[in-house]
Amino acid sequence: MEQALEVLRTVFGYQDFRGQQAAVIEHVLKGEDTLVLMPTGGGKSLCFQVPALVCKGTAVVVSPLIALMQNQVDRLKELGVRAAYLNSSQSPAAARDVERMLRAGNLDLIYVAPERLTMDSCIALLKGVEISLFAIDEAHCISQWGHDFRSDYLQLSLIVEEFPSVPVIALTATADERTRQEIVKRLRLRSARTFVSSFNRPNIQYRVTEKVTAKDQLLDFIRSEHQDDAGIVYCLSRKTVEATAKWLVQKGVNAIPYHAGLSTGVREKNLSKFLKEDGVVVVATIAFGMGIDKPDVRFVAHIDLPKNIEAYYQETGRAGRDGDAATAWMVYGIQDAIMLRKMASQGDGSAAFKRIEAQKIQALLGYCELTSCRRQALLQYFGEESQNACGNCDACMTPIASWDATIEAQKAMSNIHRTGQRFGVGHLIDVLMARPSDKIQSLKHDEVSTYGIGKDQSEGVWRSVYRQLVARDLVRVDDYGSLALTEKSKSILRGEEKLFLRTSSLKEGKASTKSRSKKRAGASKSPTPRYSPAPAKIGSGNSLFKALSALRLELAKKQDLPSYCIFHNATLEEMARLKPKTKSDLLEISGVGAAKLEKYGQIFIDAINQHH
Ligand code: ADP
Ligand code: ZN
């Protein structure tokens, strides 16, 4: 362990291990199999990188995404680590070079794509060299229940057969018990010890807002809180991705699209732009993100709902890996609820599978409609109890009021009943509000008893009511988007039970007096969180920090590397605060190791000394 600490300090430039890192590394160094569950940004990479440098031989890292291997290898090389990768994007000559280095024992780490590793030729190659350990990154890809299943991961159980004396460390940020068990079983880990870290990401602020016009809300959010920050915007369809990216560009945001329908060339170009330049916003389908370890993503925005809570947690987890404050922001409306419900009933999975999917969707909708701390709910979903409300989510910062919506719910539900349980929400609201239409006329819906009984509320309120009825499973949606009542609705229709709903942000004004809205006056749109990362931060307005960032960008551009490969923001901030004058002062700063000191030390010291 002494050696491990030495490596941490000299190579990585960090003073101490974080959280479970030391315990994990100690276990790996004993030669035992290990399963590591840590949230994104928790510091998984060091759990295998440090042992790789301490142990004799080469560590083999299995990583699912070719596009990102290069990035990881570049970062290690910047630290002076002897690392390389083998995958199908390489020329045969380049691959032969890597193989030669491997045979000569000149590599500490080699990254290999799963489909490559399980080839006979690769196994034979590895048998001829000394392997220190196998690290399986994104190990949840082996689980069919998870959301990133990759069939080539199934073959990885070969490793244990072919290399029985080499320890295996599997790592993932997916927490649920079922996935965990599947990883151990399918990789055939031998009496593996599991290390579970807390999945709390205190620096991420969780917010969910009612969807009105998603694009405008998004732009408003970016402009008011994340101008010039790097971020990810998730949408459901390629079409929305394209349209949103184009629109943001028109509005002056440095945005690019990313989805599976783009050519490989464009995708690579966009990914590299996002990784290498500062302040790029990528608008993407969920095809984007796994393994992206850009540390300074400041926000993740969902303008469509994710598939379930696991996916939400993973996607939002891509924000703020560097530990600085970041925002997970989502807008959500009735159409999203309807869409997810429809998706749950469709598909050709088994009945049991559908039931699980439906439960997962229910949990996600429940999360959206929460009026209590979102972080507590998320952690609880992953089996973690936390005593206190977090102070850094919308529910904690601006308490969300609820109102007694029993009567409105009764009206909305009788309206479904009276019109025959065959219509979508648009028509239902027209009937409630007595808005004439051809459809109403031809169906004679102006003669039903619910016609016009909802004139006292705005359309926004009715949308919010229907949305929450769907979210609470009081109303069901069929394949065509028609709403029908469920068994659960009866007690409310009969007045046996009251129903409290979230106060809609659209509800202010017209209806609020009548329905006794308790929404607090003066609740601001972007409240100040209680969370602030320690220590006191140098703002991005600091002129030395700015000068150092510019220097970093210049150095990065020259080498065609992302700027965080040179130094992280936190490291530059510390430099701006402590103003080191000598190389040994600089070495004290977190994130400065021997290789970087050698390569960049003098340049940064000069810049600090010259700055006035
Ligand atoms: P994960 O793979 O779990 O998402 P990473 O391994 O990318 O997380 O680490 C997240 C960030 O935390 C990285 O920027 C990394 O350099 C930093 N980090 C990891 N361990 C430490 C440590 N012991 N001290 C300081 N920073 C650390
Ligand atoms: Zn909270």
Mean pLDDT of 363-371: 88
Q: Residue holding tokens 């389908």?
A: 285
pLDDT at residue 287 in the model: 72
Mean pLDDT of 562-585: 89
pLDDT at residue 511 in the model: 35
pLDDT at residue 328 in the model: 98
pLDDT at residue 338 in the model: 83
pLDDT at residue 176 in the model: 74
Looking at CATH, the fold of the domain delimited by 543-610 is given as DNA polymerase; domain 1 (1.10.150)
Looking at residue 295, what DSSP letter applies? T
Residue 40 CA, closest ligand 1 atom number: 4
Mean pLDDT of 511-521: 35
Residue nearest to atom 27 of ligand 1 (CA): 43
Q: Examine the pLDDT at 506 and tell me if it is beyond 80.
A: no
User: Which residues make Cβ contacts (< 8 Å) with residue 502, sequence separation at least 6?
Assistant: 369, 371, 400, 401, 402, 464, 468
Q: For the segment 3-38, what is each residue's pLDDT rounded down to a tens digit?
A: 999 999 999 999 899 989 999 999 999 999 999 999
Residue nearest to atom 12 of ligand 1 (CA): 43
Residue 16 CA, closest ligand 1 atom number: 23
pLDDT at residue 539 in the model: 66
Residue 317 CA, closest ligand 1 atom number: 4
Question: Measured from the CB, is residue 138 less than 6 Å from ligand 1?
Answer: no
Residue nearest to atom 9 of ligand 1 (CA): 43
Asked if residue 589 lies in contact with residue 580, where contact means CB atoms within 8 angstroms, the answer is yes
Q: Which ligand does the CA of 394 lie closest to?
A: 2
d(CA 98, CA 165): 24
Q: Examine the pLDDT at 56 and tell me if it is beyond 50.
A: yes
User: Which residues make Cβ contacts (< 8 Å) with residue 457, sequence separation at least 6?
Assistant: 408, 433, 510, 511, 515
Which residues partner with 477 through β-bridges?
A: 483
d(CA 156, CA 27): 21
pLDDT at residue 382 in the model: 80
d(CA 445, CA 447): 5
User: Which residues make Cβ contacts (< 8 Å) with residue 497, sequence separation at least 6?
Assistant: 406, 491
Looking at residue 537, what DSSP letter applies? P
pLDDT at residue 347 in the model: 66
Q: Which ligand does the CA of 564 lie closest to?
A: 1
Mean pLDDT of 52-81: 91
pLDDT at residue 42 in the model: 85
* CA distances to 86, 226, 287, 292, 507 from 69, in Å: 9, 29, 17, 10, 49
pLDDT at residue 337 in the model: 81
Q: Which of 51-55, 188-192, 268-272 has the lowest mean pLDDT?
A: 188-192
Question: Measured from the CB, is residue 14 less than 6 Å from ligand 1?
Answer: yes
Mutate to test the pocket of ligand 1, among 12, 17, 574 (most ligand atoms within 8 A of CB): 12
Specify whether domain 402-525 bears CATH 3.40.190.290.
no
Of the two residues 342 and 379, the one the predictor is more confident about is 379
Q: Examine the pLDDT at 437 and tell me if it is beyond 70.
A: yes
Of the two residues 448 and 530, the one the predictor is more confident about is 448
DSSP-derived pairing of the beta strands 193-196 and 34-37: parallel
Distance of CA 169 to the CA centre of its chain: 23
Asked if residue 398 lies in contact with residue 428, where contact means CB atoms within 8 angstroms, the answer is no
Residue nearest to atom 20 of ligand 1 (CA): 43
Mean pLDDT of 176-196: 87
Q: Examine the pLDDT at 488 and tell me if it is beyond 50.
A: yes
In the reported structure, the alpha carbon of residue 194 is separated from the centroid of ligand 1 by a whole-number distance in angstroms of 19
Question: Measured from the CB, is residue 18 less than 6 Å from ligand 1?
Answer: yes
pLDDT at residue 174 in the model: 76
The C-alpha angle with vertex 122 and arms to 117 and 123, in degrees rounded to 5, equals 85
Residue 12 CA, closest ligand 1 atom number: 16
pLDDT at residue 531 in the model: 53
In the reported structure, the alpha carbon of residue 17 is separated from the centroid of ligand 1 by a whole-number distance in angstroms of 10
d(CA 507, CA 457): 8
Question: Measured from the CB, is residue 322 less than 6 Å from ligand 1?
Answer: yes
In the reported structure, the alpha carbon of residue 471 is separated from the centroid of ligand 1 by a whole-number distance in angstroms of 37
d(CA 77, CA 557): 16
Q: For the segment 249-303, what is each residue's pLDDT rounded down to a tens digit?
A: 999 999 999 998 999 899 989 988 998 888 999 999 987 776 677 889 999 999 9
Q: Which ligand does the CA of 391 lie closest to?
A: 2
Is-same-fold flag (204-397; 543-610)?
no
Question: Measured from the CB, is residue 43 less than 6 Å from ligand 1?
Answer: yes
In the reported structure, the alpha carbon of residue 52 is separated from the centroid of ligand 1 by a whole-number distance in angstroms of 16
pLDDT at residue 363 in the model: 86
Q: Average pLDDT over the chain, rounded to whole?
A: 87
Percent of the chain with pLDDT over 90: 56
d(CA 550, CA 63): 32
Reduce the DSSP state of residue 140 to 3 states and report it: helix
Question: Measured from the CB, is residue 320 less than 6 Å from ligand 1?
Answer: no
CA dihedral in degrees (235, 237, 240, 241; nearest 10)?
70
Q: Which CATH architecture has domain 204-397?
A: 3-Layer(aba) Sandwich (3.40)
Helices 459-471 & 406-418 angle (0-180, nearest 10): 80
Q: Residue holding tokens 């990810």?
A: 232
Q: For the segment 83-103, what is each residue's pLDDT rounded down to a tens digit?
A: 999 988 889 999 999 999 999
Question: Measured from the CB, is residue 38 less than 6 Å from ligand 1?
Answer: yes
Cis check: omega of the bond before 535, within 30 degrees of 0:
yes
Other CB atoms within 10 Å distance of the CB of residue 442? 8
Mutate to test the pocket of ligand 1, among 18, 200, 204 (most ligand atoms within 8 A of CB): 18
pLDDT at residue 505 in the model: 61
Q: Contacts by 384-391 with C-beta closer than 8 Å and gap 24+? A: 384/198, 384/199, 384/200, 386/200, 390/202, 390/531, 391/529, 391/530, 391/531
Band of residue 47 on the pLDDT scale cut at 50, 70, 90:
very high
Band of residue 537 on the pLDDT scale cut at 50, 70, 90:
low
Mean pLDDT of 552-561: 89
Residue 568 CA, closest ligand 1 atom number: 14
Question: Measured from the CB, is residue 46 less than 6 Å from ligand 1?
Answer: yes
In the reported structure, the alpha carbon of residue 322 is separated from the centroid of ligand 1 by a whole-number distance in angstroms of 7
Mean pLDDT of 502-518: 46
pLDDT at residue 356 in the model: 74
Band of residue 429 on the pLDDT scale cut at 50, 70, 90:
very high
* CA distances to 221, 230, 275, 298, 320 from 279, in Å: 15, 4, 10, 9, 14
Asked if residue 440 lies in contact with residue 454, where contact means CB atoms within 8 angstroms, the answer is no
Q: Examine the pLDDT at 526 and tell me if it is beyond 60.
A: no
Question: Measured from the CB, is residue 289 less than 6 Å from ligand 1?
Answer: no
In the reported structure, the alpha carbon of residue 530 is separated from the centroid of ligand 2 by a whole-number distance in angstroms of 10
Q: Examine the pLDDT at 519 and tell me if it is beyond 50.
A: no
Helices 238-250 & 214-225 angle (0-180, nearest 10): 50
In the reported structure, the alpha carbon of residue 72 is separated from the centroid of ligand 2 by a whole-number distance in angstroms of 34
d(CA 19, CA 35): 15
CA dihedral in degrees (48, 52, 55, 56; nearest 10)?
150
Q: For the segment 295-351, what is each residue's pLDDT rounded down to a tens digit?
A: 899 999 999 999 888 889 989 999 998 889 999 999 998 888 888 777 777 766 777
Domain parsing of the chain, residue ranges: 2-196, 204-397, 402-525, 543-610
Q: Which CATH architecture has domain 2-196?
A: 3-Layer(aba) Sandwich (3.40)
pLDDT at residue 147 in the model: 65
Q: Would the CA dihedral through 382, 386, 389, 390 be positive or negative?
A: negative
Residue 173 CA, closest ligand 1 atom number: 3
Mutate to test the pocket of ligand 1, among 14, 196, 201, 565 (most ligand atoms within 8 A of CB): 14
In the reported structure, the alpha carbon of residue 79 is separated from the centroid of ligand 1 by a whole-number distance in angstroms of 14
pLDDT at residue 512 in the model: 34
All residues with CB under 5 Å from ion ligand 2:
373, 375, 389-390, 393, 396
Question: Measured from the CB, is residue 293 less than 6 Å from ligand 1?
Answer: yes
In the reported structure, the alpha carbon of residue 176 is separated from the centroid of ligand 1 by a whole-number distance in angstroms of 22
d(CA 134, CA 52): 9
pTM for the full predicted model? 0.78
d(CA 566, CA 562): 8
User: Which residues make Cβ contacts (< 8 Å) with residue 275, sequence separation at least 6?
Assistant: 71, 292, 294, 562
Q: If you count them, how many residues does the chain have?
A: 612
Question: Measured from the CB, is residue 41 less than 6 Å from ligand 1?
Answer: yes
Mean pLDDT of 203-221: 94
Mean pLDDT of 579-584: 90
Band of residue 175 on the pLDDT scale cut at 50, 70, 90:
low
